[in-house]
């Protein structure tokens, strides 16, 4: 079976994404976050990182692009909806975190730069801080 040229690109992109998620997890740990889950699979999709600091439970989407602006724009409304649904399923399986305040963060990963963490980038109620950046 012959694979198309898009397959190699997809694999390379997935590798870059996994590498960025690992680097962001380490970076967040150095910032005082406790990473609870990585690449958490739920029936609604995958959550890149789930981390806790204090009373905050952050569901974190990591976007890797050539520029910060490209990374910021890479999170579509459809992906936000998927992350919201996935977070609900994750919380249903991890009831011992119910007392924590959920938050949806975005971390922008650009080569050769420190990650940019956007806490509360969007909310379940539909208010979208990404448009305010």
CATH number at residue 18: 3.40.1350.10
Give residue 21's domain range: 5-132
- Which pLDDT score, from 0 to 100, does residue 21 have? 92
Question: Strand 101-109 and strand 56-64: pairing?
Answer: parallel
The structural domain count of the chain equals 1
Average pLDDT per consecutive 10 residues, the chain (133 residues; last block may be shorter): 72 88 95 95 93 97 91 88 94 95 95 93 60 36
pLDDT of residue 2: 53
Determine the pLDDT at residue 129. Answer: 44
Given this model, what pLDDT does residue 125 score?
A: 54
pTM for this structure? 0.85
**pLDDT, position 132:** 34
SS3 content of the chain, % helix, strand, coil (to 5): 40, 35, 25
* Torsions phi, psi for 41 (to 5 deg): -95, 130
Other beta carbons less than 10 A from residue 57's beta carbon: 21
- Return the pLDDT at 13: 83
Both tokens of 72, joined, read: 């910021």
């Amino acid at each position: 079976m012959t694979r198309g040229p898009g397959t190699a690109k997809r694999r390379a992109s997935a590798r870059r994404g996994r590498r960025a998620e690992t680097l962001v997890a380490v970076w967040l740990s150095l910032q005082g976050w406790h990473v609870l889950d990585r690449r958490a699979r739920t029936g609604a999709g995958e959550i890149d990182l789930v981390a806790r600091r204090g009373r905050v439970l952050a569901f974190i989407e990591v976007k890797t692009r050539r520029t910060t602006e490209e990374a910021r724009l890479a999170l579509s409304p459809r992906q936000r909806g998927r992350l919201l649904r996935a977070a609900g399923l994750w919380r249903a399986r991890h009831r011992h975190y119910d007392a924590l305040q959920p938050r949806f963060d975005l971390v922008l990963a650009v080569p050769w730069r420190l990650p940019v963490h956007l806490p509360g980038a969007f909310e379940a109620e539909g208010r979208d801080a990404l448009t305010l950046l």
